[in-house]
């Protein structure tokens, strides 16, 4: 207190005006343009851009799925899981990747052996996003699993197993979005657009699945700058 009392009420900084004249102007317009371009989705291949009517229908279907899930969540949560279903802990990234995608996709094995074709082995092919499973996942787990799968998708190909889980997790994602979820779904949409452009065989079913995810992120979750322009 004694030292504070000795300090003057007003202090004036001694600034050298000559230093202020140098390099005050920073041109960031190019960087902003590059950043904006980088964050947008790449357009669909020619002939594969979804119509506005199709996008609106997908949003309506998705909204109905979310409402049904919310309405019946407690019922499905109370259902007993099969004895072979062992959900990983929220922080178990590798466990969730194997659980959702199956060891076959996770280990990038091209085909099942003849013996494995005799019955469904969910450890091998992955557990589907059953309502009894996703209804048990709180928002922290939903966000974590979404992050794990998007991370995996960042370096791997798109598969039906991945598509089913991404759709289910988006359906479980509560609005308004938390900042981390907001960033994740934007990352997901951009990755879908990259894979869509690189689709060599132009598999219509696969491109449609990628279009669907981009549509939901952009039009249901209000990331309109990522939306596909209607064909």
Predicted confidence band of residue 4 (pLDDT cuts 50, 70, 90):
low
pLDDT of residue 13: 62
Q: What is the model's pLDDT at position 33? A: 37
Structure tokens that stand for 116 in this block: 């494995």
The pLDDT > 70 percentage for the chain reads 78
* Residue 30 placed within a domain: no
Average pLDDT of every residue of the chain? 84
Short-list 133, 151, 221, CA closest to 188:
151
Question: What is the domain-level CATH number for residue 59?
Answer: 1.20.58.1070
179, 150 Cβ separation under 8 angstroms: no
Is 211 part of a structural domain of the chain? yes
For residue 34, being part of any structural domain is answered with: no
pLDDT at 80: 86
Listing DSSP states for 32-69 in one string gives HHHHHHHHSPPPPPTT-PPPHHHHHHHHHHHHHHHHHH
Asked if residue 95 has pLDDT above 90, the reply is yes
Q: Which of 52-66, 104-118, 190-204 has the lowest mean pLDDT?
A: 104-118
Q: What is the pLDDT of residues 175-189, one digit of tens each?
A: 999 999 999 999 999
Domain that holds residue 131: 52-80+87-109+120-224
Tokens representing 189? 């949409």
What is d(CA 47, CA 63) in angstroms, rounded to the nearest whole number?
A: 27
List Cα–Cα distances, 87 to 93, 125, 135, 137, in angstroms.
12, 15, 12, 10
Count of C-beta atoms within a 10 Å radius of residue 95: 15
Cβ atoms < 10 Å from Cβ of 229: 9
Task: Please check the confidence at residue 118 and state whether its pLDDT lies above 50.
Answer: no
Q: In which band, very low, low, confident or very high, does the pLDDT at 107 lie, cut at 50, 70 and 90?
A: confident
Region for 126 from its dihedrals, namely left if φ exceeds 0, alpha if ψ lies in -120 to 50, beta otherwise:
left
Asked if residue 159 belongs to a domain, the reply is yes
Average pLDDT in the 55-72 region?
A: 96
Contact (CB, 8 A) for 65 and 171: yes
Whole-structure pTM value: 0.79
**138 found inside a domain:** yes
- Whether the pLDDT of residue 37 is over 50: the answer is no
Q: Give me the number of domains the chain comprises.
A: 1
Residue 114's SS3 state is coil
Tokens 């938390």 — which residue?
178
Which pair of tokens denotes residue 70?
A: 């919310």
For residue 157, is it within any domain?
yes
**All residues at 6 or more sequence positions from 100 whose CB lies less than 8 Å from its CB, including other chains:** 126, 127, 129, 145, 149, 161, 162, 165
H/E element, 77: helix 52-77
Domain for residue 2, yes or no? no
Mean pLDDT value of segment 2-11: 67
Say how far apart CA 194 and CA 191 lie, in whole Å.
Answer: 5
The rounded distance, in Å, linking the Cα atoms of 100 and 106 is: 9
> Of residues 25 and 212, which shows the higher confidence score?
212
Instruction: Quickly state the pLDDT bin for 163 (edges 50, 70, 90).
Output: very high
pLDDT of amino acid 133: 95
CA 202 to mean position of chain CA atoms: 23
Residue 22 lies in a domain: no
- pLDDT of 17 over the 70 cut: no
The residue that leads in pLDDT, 193 or 82, is: 193
């Amino acid at each position: 207190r004694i030292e504070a009392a000795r300090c003057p009420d007003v202090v004036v900084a001694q600034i050298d005006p000559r230093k202020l004249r140098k390099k005050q102007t920073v041109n960031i317009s190019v960087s902003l343009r590059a950043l904006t371009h980088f964050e947008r989705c790449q357009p669909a291949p020619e002939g594969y851009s979804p119509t506005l009517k199709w996008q609106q229908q997908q949003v309506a279907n998705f909204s109905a799925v979310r409402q049904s899930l919310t309405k019946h969540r407690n019922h499905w949560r109370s259902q007993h899981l099969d004895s072979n279903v062992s959900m990983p802990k929220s922080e178990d990234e590798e466990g969730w990747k194997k659980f959702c995608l199956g060891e076959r996709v996770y280990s990038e094995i091209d085909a099942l052996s003849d013996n494995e074709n005799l019955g469904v082995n969910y450890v091998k092919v992955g557990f589907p996003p059953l309502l009894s499973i996703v209804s048990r996942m709180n928002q922290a787990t939903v966000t974590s699993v979404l992050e794990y799968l998007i991370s995996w998708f960042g370096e791997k190909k798109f598969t039906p197993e991945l598509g089913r889980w991404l759709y289910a997790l988006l359906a479980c994602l509560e609005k308004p979005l938390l900042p981390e979820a907001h960033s994740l779904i934007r990352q997901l949409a951009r990755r879908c657009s990259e894979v869509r452009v690189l689709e060599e065989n132009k598999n219509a079913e696969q491109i449609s699945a990628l279009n669907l995810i981009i549509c939901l992120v952009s039009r249901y979750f209000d990331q309109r700058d990522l939306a596909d322009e209607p064909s």
